Structure 1
Amino acid sequence: MTKHTFISEEKSTRLDKWLTNQTEWSRSLIQQWIQDGHVAVNGEPVKSNYKIQLNDEVVVVEPEVKELEVKAESLDLDIIYEDKDVLVVNKPRGMVVHPAPGHASGTLVNGLMAHCQDLSGINGVLRPGIVHRIDKDTSGLLMVAKNDLAHESLVEQLKNKTTKRRYEALVSGVIPHDKGTIDAPIGRDPEDRQRMTVTDMHAREAVTHFQVIERFANYTHVACELETGRTHQIRAHMKYIGYPIVGDPKYGSRKKHDFPINGQALHAEFLGFIHPRTGEEMLFHAPLPDDLKNCLNQAGRK
């Protein structure tokens, strides 16, 4: 177990919210730790709604994380391309990329381990071969490294912004201009640590280019190209400019939508990179899945 000590510099909000703002831990995780007795204020156990006072000493004893056992599972993966160095897969909406608490099986990594034994080990046992991720409820293309040479090369290309990643989405509202660039830094939302937001605090550079494909009465079909690859970047950026992605549970409208899609209407349609061994330019397309096509058809009828 790891012990963390914090001293409050002012009278503040309730304990669980205050700790969330001080750390990278989620509020739900902190609440669980408080309930389990892993958090004390001035040496005494407290509840999540305890109000922080000036000079309070908050001690968090972080429990050790149980190692997840990652098992190979035979899954029906849509492999677009594969050679001895790299693999490109079209991930379906609803599939988690790698195991995590609550998602120990059925992930892309579980399927990859059954499909091939030679995956890069740079990211450890939970994320073998994983160079970049897309969200559970986003579909589309991912590149996977099958050895460390390929992994290092692909990561360097991401870092140098030389990879090409284009998404298609259906957003709420009618975007008046044909194209644009959203250059706005993204960081954790202090009100919800599981969400990202445009902010100047503890933020990282984030740039998204977008282009209108088609306008409907109340919606817009757009293509978004990533210059950087921050967590939830397109989802947070489209919300920031007032055109949230249809069906997005974190960044979209709180009203229940009636589109035929489970998750955000977002698809990683195009992927390009330089092959780590041959130096050849590799370009891949994944057609829009049926659920997103159905959303576009429905938007056109509204």
Structure 2
Amino acid sequence: MENDEIKLLKVSEGEEGRLDKYLSDKLEDMTRSYLKKLISDDKAVLVNGNPAKPNYKLKPGDIIELAVPEPIELEIKAENISLDIVYEDNDMLVVNKPQGMVVHPAAGNYTGTLVNALLYHCGDSLSGINGEKRPGIVHRIDKDTSGLLLVAKNDNAHQKLSSQIKEHSLTRAYKALVHGNIKQDSGRIDAPIGRHPSDRKKMTITDKNSREAVTNFRVLERYGRYTFVECILETGRTHQIRVHMSKNGHPIVGDKTYGVKKEEFNLTGQLLHAYKVGFIHPVSGEYMEFVSELPDYYMNVLDRLRNFI
């Protein structure tokens, strides 16, 4: 307990609600299930000096004291999880990640990730540039985004693929279904993205502590109240497409963080799919490009909308 990190939070107007949800929104590096354990099992959370339950209803002015245990270095274990491998050679892989899978382990979420699956499949043949919790991971996509990812098997491949991302020469294209009817056929969103000032789990368009972010989009189909678009990244910021489309007035369907509160489709995540990746192979120098079909749940929504046109 003496090495625990103590966090103090004061609830502001408009932040009322469940204790576990409030903490989950504020503390991006901890899952809601992990926070529930800290609250219920470890009694590590006090509200106004008293132990509280996860469903405690917070009021403005409440003072929350959270004792975060000192991190325990856990060995990331290989797990026999099925992988959809689109391409593989001695230097790299292209993997099609399903919606709902986390890319790499984080606090309270050390199993069932893409990294756990990669360790089982590749053994020691993964680059170590990003450290022991992110072996082989060249770039990431969100848990509830599906699609193609590059994985490096050695440091040389990792460095060369990463340099293509920095130079904006690596092709990363997504397909998204968004709310509203986008009138222009194409567009370019150039707006810097940084951490949200009051909600650490969210990103936002801001000039403070931000980085350049550019998304190009092209309309593929229109369905009245919805638009199907292709988004091509010039940069790769956290939540970039989700933030840009939302701030542009067209949030992605199913996006529980940046989208609308009530959806007509029963979705577990946003309809955003990394469908194309193109790059120069780190060893052969050959340009390679791969395409992934939309998942069935995504196609079902599009088919439903097309039938009503």
TM-score normalized with structure 1 length? 0.82
CA distance in 1, matches of 2:79, 2:35: 32
Q: Who is 1:134 aligned against?
A: 141
CA distance in 2, matches of 1:105, 1:126: 11
Cα displacement (A) at 1:262:
2.0
In the TM superposition, what whole-angstrom CA distance separates every residue of 1:35-94 from its partner, at most 9, and x where no partner exists? Answer: 98999xxxxx79998969xxxxxx998642112321111111110001111100001111
Q: Who is 1:267 aligned against?
A: 273
| Aligned with 1:80 (options 83, 86, 90) | 86
In the alignment, is residue 283 of structure 1 matched against residue 289 of structure 2? yes
CA distance in 2, matches of 1:31, 1:116: 34
Number of corresponding residues: 292
SS of equivalent to 1:194: coil
Q: Who is 1:235 aligned against?
A: 242
Cα displacement (A) at 1:301:
3.3
Cα displacement (A) at 1:300:
2.2
| Aligned with 1:252 (options 243, 249, 259) | 259
In the TM superposition, what whole-angstrom CA distance separates every residue of 1:84-118 from its partner, at most 9, and x where no partner exists? Answer: 11100001111111112232211111111111120
CA distance in 2, matches of 1:174, 1:74: 43
In the alignment, is residue 99 of structure 1 matched against residue 105 of structure 2? yes
> Is contact 1:26–1:193 with CA below 8 Å preserved after alignment?
no
> Is contact 2:97–2:146 with CA below 8 Å preserved after alignment?
yes
Cα displacement (A) at 1:222:
0.2
In the TM superposition, what whole-angstrom CA distance separates every residue of 1:246-266 from its partner, at most 9, and x where no partner exists? Answer: 01111110114325x320001
1:22-41, aligned counterparts within 5 Å?
none
Q: Who is 1:112 aligned against?
A: 118
CA distance in 2, matches of 1:296, 1:151: 36
In the TM superposition, what whole-angstrom CA distance separates every residue of 1:198-248 from its partner, at most 9, and x where no partner exists? Answer: 112211110000000001121101000000000010001000000011011
Q: Who is 1:164 aligned against?
A: 171
TM-score normalized with structure 2 length? 0.80
In the alignment, is residue 297 of structure 1 matched against residue 297 of structure 2? no
| Aligned with 2:155 (options 145, 148, 151) | 148
> Is contact 2:27–2:200 with CA below 8 Å preserved after alignment?
no
SS of equivalent to 1:192: coil
CA 1:50 to 1:157, structure 2 compared with 1: closer, same or farther past 3 Å?
A: same
Structure 2: which amino acid aligns with 1:137?
D
CA 1:66 to 1:218, structure 2 compared with 1: closer, same or farther past 3 Å?
A: same
CA 1:176 to 1:131, structure 2 compared with 1: closer, same or farther past 3 Å?
A: same
CA distance in 1, matches of 2:294, 2:157: 28
> Is contact 1:96–1:135 with CA below 8 Å preserved after alignment?
yes
SS of equivalent to 1:210: strand
CA 1:301 to 1:119, structure 2 compared with 1: closer, same or farther past 3 Å?
A: same
> Is contact 2:7–2:68 with CA below 8 Å preserved after alignment?
no
Name structure 1 gaps, 5 residues minimum: 7-11, 40-44, 53-58
SS of equivalent to 2:156: helix
CA distance in 2, matches of 1:128, 1:70: 10
Structure 2: which amino acid aligns with 1:263?
G
> Is contact 1:68–1:126 with CA below 8 Å preserved after alignment?
no
Q: Who is 1:212 aligned against?
A: 219
CA distance in 2, matches of 1:32, 1:26: 11
Cα displacement (A) at 1:31:
11
Q: Who is 2:16 aligned against?
A: none
Task: Provide the aligned C-alpha RMSD in A.
Answer: 3.6
SS of equivalent to 1:143: strand
> Is contact 1:218–1:299 with CA below 8 Å preserved after alignment?
no
Q: Who is 1:182 aligned against?
A: 189
Name structure 2 gaps, 5 residues minimum: 14-18, 52-57
CA distance in 2, matches of 1:5, 1:137: 29
User: How high is the sequence identity, in percent, across the aligned residues?
Assistant: 53
Structure 1: which amino acid aligns with 2:194?
G
Structure 2: which amino acid aligns with 1:107?
T
| Aligned with 1:68 (options 74, 87, 99) | 74
In the alignment, is residue 222 of structure 1 matched against residue 229 of structure 2? yes
